[in-house]
Amino acid sequence: MHKVGFFRSVQLKFVLIYILLLLVAVQIIGSYFSSELEKEFTTNFKNSIDGRISVLSYYLENAFNEERTEDMETSLRQDLQAIIRDIDTGSNWTLLVVDNQSRVAATNNYLDQEKVGKKTTLDIIQKALFLGEEKIGEKKDRNDNIYYQQATPLFDDEHNVVGVIYVEAPSQDIYDQLNDITQLFLNGSIIAILVSAILGVLVARAITKPIMEMRKQAQVMGKGDFTQKVNVYGTDEIGQLAIAFNDLNDQLKHSYSKTEEETRKLHSVLENMSDGVIATDETGAVTLMNEAAGILLGINPEESYGELIIDVLKLDEKVVELAELQESGSMIIDFSDDDEIFLIRAAFSTVTDDRDEITGFITVISDVTEQEKIEQERREFVSNVSHELRTPLTTMKSYIEALTDGEWKNEEIAPRFLEVTQNETERMIRMVNDLLQLSKMDNKEQQLQKERSEFISLFHHIIDRFEMNVPEKITFIRELPNEKLFVYIDKDKLIQVIDNIISNAIKYSPEGGNIVCRVVKQRNQLLVSVSDEGMGIAYDKLEKIFERFYRVDKARTRKFGGTGLGLAISKELVEAHHGKIWAKSKEGKGTTILFTLPLMGKKRRYNV
């Protein structure tokens, strides 16, 4: 740092400014002198009036306090008039003596003689009579001449108000003199201002030139251009400020670059988020919406700017004020239509400044349709499990109670009761085993023991087993290719799948019905199907038959001991083998269950 010389420093410039400040001080002194002079004139004027009023009050109080009869009221007025006439007040003063009844008792103005004996309504007199205090005021006549007013109460020996002396004296001369003096100071001030302006221009040019350059540079910096620098004209304080300003420019350039980089990162994060983000101001008007939010809401983000968040989220029927959004925290918004269920979760948070005042809202929205569906399925699953377990338990309880009450002695009824109890117990065991199996598959705990297997012979073996054990007159029709087709499967699990499908076909087939078992070789997979001639399934319920505990005919299924989990387990097992399972049906014309399995080639290998 170079040492700044006095003649090159800004101190010299401030000396000149100080000289200008002296001129301002002169004006302040003049104003103060004028104010004090006005006080002095006013005080002297009031003192002169107070002196005369003091003398006059003495004589008037004596006149009021003199004992008189009611017939001597005229004599009192004459005495009061005589006292006022003896006081030298000048021709332009107005004196009124008012008794405690607000009647004018005497006046020094011959033009006001008709007021004698009449009541006066002057506010200043009424206040002096009522409060017993001296009151001072001013008034203007039609020519804007100012008059001084004073109402002084008169007291008797017991300090009771017996009357008021009212004085009205012109005070315009005081203000005229003050105006003349003020005009003199004004003329002097104008001359001082002119001189100060000339000196100020010369000094301002020297001081403000580099400051003006820095101001222009600041405006350029405000637009994001940090390439320019201000000129350094010297080594004084202004020069040092210019150097510091250039350093600040470099720091701002670096900070601006980092801010731009962070902004780009934030923009990239917002645009690549799977969740939608909506920012609003404190009024709830949208200021920012990312692409994900636009896709979820089905609107153009740019067209939503300025719209209220309540309208964008279609909450006008649910939410009346923005404060309710903050209180709710989050909510599920239903955007479903007749064709599709669509649910969105909206989480609300506030943006506050350093004074904890709300400056806006941030809303994060996400598609929770699948989550809600899963939650609904979970609730239905718990309800179904409870229902399915309650039915056999209730049956068992009633039969066991009957046996306990003595029916075990009945050789005809007791065996039937025990048989029903055993069947219900076995049905619950099957249900629990099926649930355990589903739980293991859900948790990926069940490992498939896959091996290379020839499918056609396996399918024949399963059908043979059912043909031997079917009591009804049901015919199995086999439409299987006469060749060996190899698949990579867990035999036990696939047998369980086919058993479930054929068992269902038998349950819903009428007597004398046909069950068609078919296998079609496709390019890289086998298409397996089992068709019955049962009552069929409505089109809108086809997808539901693979849900847990869903039954087309609950009474018929329970009759044969079904749990409602067979097709759900089959679906999980087929998908675990990289296949797909579905159903086709027409009401009254039977149902076909189809599934696919990957077909092994000669050079194809599968890992467990």
> What DSSP element (H or E) covers 108?
none
Of 324-328, 350-354, 532-536, 563-567, the range with the lowest mean pLDDT is 324-328
Q: What is the pLDDT of residue 487?
A: 92
Q: What is the pLDDT of residue 517?
A: 93
**Which residues neighbour 373 within 8 Å (Cβ) at sequence distance 6 or greater?**
341
Q: Is the pLDDT of residue 536 over 80?
A: yes
Residue-wise pLDDT for 387-424, tens only, equals 666 767 777 777 787 777 777 777 777 777 777 777 77
Residue-wise pLDDT for 335-381, tens only, equals 777 667 778 888 888 888 878 888 888 888 888 777 776 666 666 66
What's the whole-number average pLDDT of the chain?
77
Ordered structural domains, the chain, with CATH: 1-65+171-272 (no CATH), 91-168 (3.30.450.20), 273-367 (3.30.450.20), 373-442 (1.10.287.130), 451-598 (3.30.565.10)
Of 138-152, 205-219, 241-255, 343-357, the range with the lowest mean pLDDT is 205-219
Nearest one of 464, 485, 465, 388 to 432, comparing CA atoms: 388
Give the integer Cα–Cα distance in Å for 88 and 73: 25
**Which residues neighbour 582 within 8 Å (Cβ) at sequence distance 6 or greater?**
542, 593, 594, 595
Question: Which token pair is 25?
Answer: 């001080």
Question: Which token pair is 108?
Answer: 């020094």
Q: What is the pLDDT of residue 562?
A: 53
Q: Is the pLDDT of residue 10 over 70?
A: no
Phi, psi of 602 (to 5 degrees): -70, -30
Please, which pLDDT band fits residue 530 given cuts at 50, 70 and 90? very high
Give the integer Cα–Cα distance in Å for 145 and 152: 23
Give the integer Cα–Cα distance in Å for 501 and 487: 19
Give the integer Cα–Cα distance in Å for 458 and 464: 10
Q: Please enumerate, as own/partner, the contacts of 282-291 that have beta carbons within 8 Å and a separation of 24 or more.
A: 282/358, 282/359, 282/360, 283/308, 283/322, 284/308, 284/309, 284/310, 284/322, 284/361, 285/309, 286/312, 287/360
**Which amino acid appears at position 108 of this protein?**
N
Question: Which token pair is 92?
Answer: 């332009």
